[in-house]
């Protein structure tokens, strides 16, 4: 999923001070009193600054690196959240040198940096710390040269043996890169020799078996404490705030259970198509691309029990418990409770768009789903009997991610004489793009009679805070540099998510071919998706 630009409502940030002022600012932060360690920290209240480090970016010439990773690193540098002793080694196969690759980065920043325009002095000092290494990802010589470069970085740039490896590559390259890093010993942490960490992008495996296999390959080289499996949704400000909302406010937690909640809806809607990623999407589809990670991560955060502490393992332990409690789907359940779809040509935001099968890199007879809706249940004390309705799709009418908690109706209709039929109370957490929280409840309409209607209390981040939210990749990159795994997924968490998805994919493979395409671009998906909540007497919320 591609994130949009930051909200224009926030104030524009001032240009970064010159280098001397940056040194003073970093010194002030280092001398600041320690604050309690909390993965939900806000702003610049850090326990410590990141250590000097060499960051190795594999796949540096790709779309992900240009759109997300490099702009995030630049913004961290701009905000004085990278150490001065930082070196970025960008690896790729294209015939660049340091100068030409830096020119490519500048073009990417002009297009994708969160704060515009790019400050010239900041860019100059950032670019000085970037170097390019050309080589094939499966070639021994590439990693021999990388090891030599990193030794030179420690000697000449003071990176002190600390390494952060970032795999912004196709998933097929994950295991070979890890194996090569192990071959040249770049995974090894020795006393006084610095730390070594690796960030791995999704998709982490294609199914349960491949995820387990990849976990085994990674574990042969890196310890679990060194591995950071990234799901950028967990770095979004509103997703992080979900835990604060639940566990820092007493008024909601007593209602957060099957006694008061009727059902939960989680929607991840995209108005875009596959853009230039048709070949990738053909191998993935909506189920693997969004359901297996983003949607199930949001479900786990909604349904988890309060952790004993807010450290990484305690937080992830509770998420894994939720995923293990998700009721397994049999073939009959998949046929009844899961609907897939694929978009045809249509209109989105007033513009005509092509169907999925007409997209570049897509098979004209493709059976890849671009939409999926599912009904899941959680078999535990808190949620037994409460359905969770999940849906995601491309080429829907708008871009929106929302978690809707729909409460039960009152047990006794005291105001039967009301002319209106107010909807049930609802709590909606908007993840993007209009970040905020909406509470819907019944209120009396002014007048002599008693007429009850639903009204909204609406909180918006853009109007309530005078700071601009960081991009998810900025948050996650900083956490990886600080060694905080709270917002990254663990090996068992990944495997449990694949366990939930596997019966869906297996049933589709064994069943008859789908009748695609079955929804027009610009609609809310196939008509059959309405039956997912409809069989329970419910309906999808209009977003």
User: Cα dihedral sign for 278, 282, 284, 286?
Assistant: positive
The alpha-helical segments, DSSP class H, found in 419-471 are 461-464
Tell me how crowded residue 539 is: count the other CB atoms within 10 A of its CB: 12
Q: Is 66 a catalytic residue?
A: no
CA distances from 330 to 205, 265, 503, 530 (A): 22, 22, 7, 21
DSSP letters spanning 199-238: EEPSP--SSHHHHHHHHHHHHHHS-GGGEEE--GGGGSHH
Is-cis flag, bond preceding 517, omega within 30? yes
d(CA 118, CA 111): 10
Name beta bridge partners: 344: 520
Strand partners, 352: 347
Closest CA to 263 of 401, 424, 420: 424
Angle formed by the axes of helices 70-78 and 472-482, to 10°?
70
Extended beta strands in 350-386, E state: 351-353, 371-377
Closest CA to 218 of 234, 201, 233, 235: 201
- The answer to whether residues 39 and 73 touch, using CB atoms and an 8 Å cutoff, is no
Which tokens hold the place of 254? 């007593």
* Local structure of residue 380 (DSSP, 8 states): S
372 DSSP β-pair partners: 340, 392
Compute CA 107 distance to the chain's CA centroid, rounded to the nearest angstrom: 25
Residue 364 φ then ψ, to 5°: -60, -20
Instruction: State yes or no: cis peptide before 262, omega within 30 of 0.
Output: no
**Active-site residue (options: 66, 112, 232, 294):** 294
H or E segment and range at residue 173 = none
- Residue 543 near residue 402 (C-beta atoms within 8 A): yes
Q: Could you tell me how many residues make up the chain?
A: 543
Query: How many CB atoms neighbour CB 20 within 10 A?
Result: 8
Q: Which residues pair with 264 in a beta bridge?
A: 388, 405
Q: Is 457 helix (H, G, I), strand (E, B) or coil?
A: strand
**Whole-number Å distance between alpha carbons of 431 and 415:** 34
- Catalytic residues, which ones? 294
């Amino acid at each position: 999923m591609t994130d949009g630009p930051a909200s224009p409502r926030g104030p524009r940030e001032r240009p970064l001070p010159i280098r001397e002022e940056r040194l003073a600012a970093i010194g002030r932060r280092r001398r600041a009193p320690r604050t309690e360690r909390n993965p939900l920290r806000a702003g610049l209240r850090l326990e410590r600054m990141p250590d000097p480090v060499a960051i190795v970016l594999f796949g540096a010439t790709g779309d992900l690196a240009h759109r997300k990773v490099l702009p995030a690193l630049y913004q961290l540098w701009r905000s004085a959240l990278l150490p001065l002793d930082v070196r970025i080694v960008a690896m790729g196969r294209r015939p660049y040198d340091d100068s030409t690759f830096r020119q490519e980065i500048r073009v990417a920043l002009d297009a994708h940096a969160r704060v515009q325009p790019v400050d010239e002095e900041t860019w100059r000092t950032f670019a000085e710390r970037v170097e390019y290494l050309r080589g094939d990802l499966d070639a021994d010589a590439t990693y021999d040269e990388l090891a030599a470069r990193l030794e030179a970085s420690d000697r000449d740039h003071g990176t002190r043996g600390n390494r952060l490896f970032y795999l912004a590559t196709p998933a097929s390259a994950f295991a070979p890169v890890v194996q090569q890093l192990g071959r040249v010993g770049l995974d090894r942490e020795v006393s006084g020799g610095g730390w070594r960490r690796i960030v791995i992008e999704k998709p982490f495996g294609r199914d349960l078996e491949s995820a387990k296999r990849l976990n085994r390959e990674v574990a042969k080289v890196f310890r679990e404490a060194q591995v950071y499996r990234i799901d950028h949704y967990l770095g979004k400000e509103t997703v992080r705030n979900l835990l604060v909302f639940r566990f820092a406010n007493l008024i909601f937690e007593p209602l957060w259970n099957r006694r008061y909640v009727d059902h939960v809806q989680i929607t991840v809607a995209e108005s875009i198509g596959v853009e230039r990623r048709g070949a990738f999407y053909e191998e993935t589809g909506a189920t693997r691309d969004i359901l297996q990670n983003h949607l199930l991560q949001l479900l786990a955060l909604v349904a988890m029990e309060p952790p004993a502490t807010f450290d990484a393992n305690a937080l992830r332990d509770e998420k894994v418990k939720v995923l293990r409690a998700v009721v397994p789907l049999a073939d009959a359940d998949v046929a009844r409770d899961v609907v897939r779809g694929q978009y045809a040509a249509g209109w989105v935001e007033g513009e005509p768009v092509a169907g999925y099968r007409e997209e570049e890199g897509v098979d004209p007879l493709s059976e890849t789903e671009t939409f999926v809706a599912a009904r899941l249940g959680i078999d535990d004390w808190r949620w037994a009997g409460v359905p969770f309705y999940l849906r995601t799709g491309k080429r829907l009418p708008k871009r929106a991610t929302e978690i809707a908690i729909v409460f039960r109706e009152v047990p006794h209709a005291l105001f039967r004489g009301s002319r209106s039929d107010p909807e049930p109370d609802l709590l909606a957490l908007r993840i993007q793009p209009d970040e905020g929280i909406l509470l819907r409840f019944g209120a009396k309409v002014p007048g002599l009679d008693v007429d009850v209607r639903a009204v909204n209390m609406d909180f918006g981040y853009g109007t309530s805070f005078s700071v601009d939210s960081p991009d998810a990749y900025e948050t996650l990159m900083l956490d990886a540099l600080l060694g905080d795994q709270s917002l990254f997924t663990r090996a068992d968490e990944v495997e449990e998510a694949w366990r939930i998805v596997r019966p869906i994919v297996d049933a589709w493979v064994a069943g008859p071919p789908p009748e695609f395409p079955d929804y027009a671009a610009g609609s809310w998906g196939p008509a059959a998706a309405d039956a997912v909540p409809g069989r329970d007497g419910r309906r999808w919320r209009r977003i």
